[in-house]
Amino acid sequence: MSSQIDHLLDETRQFPPSEEFVARSVSSPALYESAAADREAFWATQSRELLEWHKPFTQVLDWSTPPFAKWFGDGELNVAYNCLDRHVEAGNGDRVALHWEGEPGDSRSITYAELTEEVKRVANVLEGLGIGHGDRVAIYLPMIPEAVASMLAVARVGAIHSVVFGGFSADSLRSRIDDAGAKLVITADGGYRKGRVSALKPAVDQALADRGDGEQQTVEHVLVVKRGENEVEWEEGRDLWWHEVVPAASPEHTAEAFPAENPLFILYTSGTTGKPKGILHTSGGYLTQAAYSHKYVFDLHPETDVYWCTADIGWITGHSYVAYGPLANGATQVIYEGTPDAPHPGRWWEIIEKYKVSIFYTAPTAIRSFMKIGRSVPAKFDLSSLRLLGSVGEPINPEAWIWYRDVIGAGKTPIVDTWWQTETGAIMVSALPGVTATKPGSAQVPLPGISIDVVDESGSEVGNGNGGLLVVTEPWPSMLRGIWGDPERFTETYWEKFEKQGYYFAGDGARLDQDGDLWLLGRVDDVMNVSGHRLSTAEIESSLVAHEATAEAAVVGAADETTGQAVVAFVIIKESYLSAHDPAGLAQQLRLWVGEQIGAIARPRDVYIVGELPKTRSGKIMRRLLRDVAEGREVGDTTTLADTAVMSIISAQVK
């Protein structure tokens, strides 16, 4: 089967940075030039400038046993020291590290000095519980300051954290605890979500309960933060209250240096079936690229910027662009416990106004949900502090990009559309806002020091104007070092397809436009084959959302006797249109619209008007479930959905 993906949409709008933005930008074309001249020397310079090494490295990259890389392998550092102590020692202890906002409206602002002291106390508690170098700690917390402190304390003592998103079930938590062999779980009695307390400790108790299968329980203690004020069951000798043991611990703790390749964390990919897939990241290379990408992609001025990434720490975005990248760079950031619409639909904009956020990084799914509500809600708030916007998680369609820029960014802020994965550890493809003329919907160019290409099934370059498979052609500092406990699966999953070339295959389809800019076309698994044409779901979804009535759309390919596969679309209509238009008429309008926009071959066979789409808690649309509905099958596993009732509602609407 050809890997060429047909290109249907053209986007020609470009937005160069303003002269004012360029004048104070932290990046310049010289970054690309120095990276092209000597890639390894470039990364060595970045690492030395951005991090403090207790023992300086002499070797940059060891690629002698691919695909197992070592970056800065003979160097030693402490990740937590780099994120905390050194800023205090440099005289920036009074700078706010975290502006924390709870969903009910409670808030705390924590300085670097205060966060450093808290992490030292937690590190002493961990060591008192027998947690040391190489031990694994599971973290199952809401978005509260203790979550970030826990990650940094685990890193400080040389242990390995496995953060499990607080929305996952007891079974999901158990499988991750068991796979990692965790000795300690850090959790809370609960956290606020959509106006009510979501319990966490009971899920931990259930995950640790004896199932009678003879398995040895590795967890020795459970450290519990009191957040939700709800009653919990207590196991004496195992369970400990954070508020009792952490304040009582010593605020003095010396950060020990560990080798650059010391494992930092395991993060299990969401939606896995069967044995969980634990992505392993190490310390020196990961922290280098997290800090580097955070500084240059977001044009960070740590003395004046207030940065906000809306991701939960349970996802890789929360690891790299909440816990590690911003703190390594000494940034002031906002973290928020709740959902965007609680207690009212303007909650995020209210927070931006309150803290004068200047850099805002969120998911296209969130942006499209705000489009659905309309611009009247953000218009009530002062968003004039914003100077840069970012998107992450999936391709952003041009219409959402333009709405984001015009409505949230007042028609002037640059937008950085970033592509990367749990496996890559940090941003790989993005505009640099002070250098690049941005294009709505395009991730654009690899960061300086990153080597990306689009190839066909044989690994040959497809060239500008063509689509194919996205690959990383050279090792990069924040690359995954393996799958926890399963090196064969690591090699087979990511490297086997292009073993001869030594390329990492990302699993995504992409195309290069005539300028050589990169456009993501979604997972290769989501590409449809209609009458011999390989069509991208992302492009058809983009066309649907370009219609003035559409708030959001998801497209899947369904088996069809005539065409092999047919395009089936599930569309959410903007609230302002629903009351004035007949859904059946709108569905027909949208079918014809796609045909006019990108050709008859892409016209959906069916368009279903729905109220919601099936999304994971990180905002990704689960298209396989929609495919089940489109093909009339029983809907598969829905346990990772944010709202498990959505699929039964969609199925009923389709019937």
pLDDT tens, position by position, 161-218: 999 988 778 888 998 999 999 999 999 999 998 888 989 999 999 999 976 666 778 9
Q: How far apart are CA 377 and CA 4, in angstroms?
A: 42
Q: How far apart are CA 641 and CA 655, in angstroms?
A: 21
Amino acid at 7: H
Inside any domain, residue 453: no
Which is more confidently placed, 490 or 271?
Answer: 490
CATH code, domain with 54: 3.40.50.12780
Q: What is the SS3 string spanning 45-101?
A: HHHHHHCCCCECCCCCEEEEECCEEEECCCCEECHHHHHCHHHHHHHHCCCEEEEEE
List all residues 6 or more positions away from 581 whose beta carbon is below 8 Å from its beta carbon.
549, 573
Residues 168, 79, single domain; the answer is yes
Inside any domain, residue 459: no
Inside any domain, residue 200: yes
Output b/e per residue, 150-159; b: 16+ Cβ within 10 A: bbbbbbbbbb
Tokens of 323: 């816990």
Inside any domain, residue 537: yes
Q: What is the pLDDT of residues 539-576, one digit of tens each?
A: 788 889 889 999 899 999 888 877 778 899 999 998 88
Q: Specify the pLDDT at position 395.
A: 83
Residues 435, 549, single domain; the answer is no
Q: How far apart are CA 472 and CA 502, in angstroms?
A: 9
Q: Specify the pLDDT at position 271.
A: 39
Q: Specify the pLDDT at position 275.
A: 65
Residues 206, 83, single domain; the answer is yes
Output b/e per residue, 34-66; b: 16+ Cβ within 10 A: bbeeebbebbbebbeebbebeeebeebbeeeee
Residue 483's DSSP bridge partners are 279
Last residue of a domain, one of 411, 446, 481: 446
Q: What is the pLDDT of residues 89-118, one digit of tens each?
A: 999 999 999 999 999 999 999 999 999 999
Q: Specify the pLDDT at position 534.
A: 65
Tokens of 467: 């689509």
Last residue of a domain, one of 446, 468, 489: 446
Residues 533, 431, single domain; the answer is no
Q: What is the largest CA-CA distance in the chain?
A: 72
Q: How far apart are CA 50 and CA 30, in angstroms?
A: 17
H or E segment to which residue 564 belongs:
strand 564-573
Inside any domain, residue 126: yes
Residues 531, 409, single domain; the answer is no
Indicate if the pLDDT at residue 337 is higher than 60.
yes
CATH code, domain with 638: 3.30.300.30
Inside any domain, residue 458: no
Residues 430, 546, single domain; the answer is no
Q: Specify the pLDDT at position 229.
A: 84
Residues 95, 230, single domain; the answer is yes
Residue 524's DSSP bridge partners are none
Last residue of a domain, one of 413, 446, 479: 446
Q: How far apart are CA 555 and CA 622, in angstroms?
A: 11
Amino acid at 409: G
Q: Specify the pLDDT at position 272.
A: 38
Full domain range(s) for residue 25:
19-446
**Is residue 545 classed as helix, strand or coil in its secondary structure?**
helix
DSSP string, 107-159: EEEEEHHHHHHHHHHHHHHHHHTT--TT-EEEEE--SSHHHHHHHHHHHHTT-
| pLDDT band with cut points at 50, 70 and 90 for residue 1 | very low
| pLDDT band with cut points at 50, 70 and 90 for residue 297 | very high
Residue 388's DSSP bridge partners are 359
Inside any domain, residue 630: yes
Q: What is the pLDDT of residues 526-542, one digit of tens each?
A: 677 776 666 778 778 88
Q: Which of 543, 537, 573, 571 is nearest to 556 (CA)?
A: 537
Q: Which of 603, 588, 604, 521 is nearest to 549 (CA)?
A: 588
- Count of the separate structural domains present in the chain: 2
Inside any domain, residue 12: no
Lowest mean pLDDT among 324-333, 352-361, 473-482, 615-624: 615-624
- Do 318 and 312 form a contact (C-beta atoms < 8 A)? yes
Query: What region, left, alpha or beta, does residue 27 occupy, with left being phi > 0 and alpha being psi -120 to 50 degrees?
Result: beta
Residue 545 CB-half CA count within 13 A: 29
Which is more confidently placed, 292 or 534?
Answer: 292
Residues 439, 534, single domain; the answer is no
Q: Which of 48, 111, 45, 117 is nearest to 80 (CA)?
A: 117
Q: Specify the DSSP class assigned to residue 290.
A: H
Q: Which of 69, 73, 5 is nearest to 495 (CA)?
A: 69
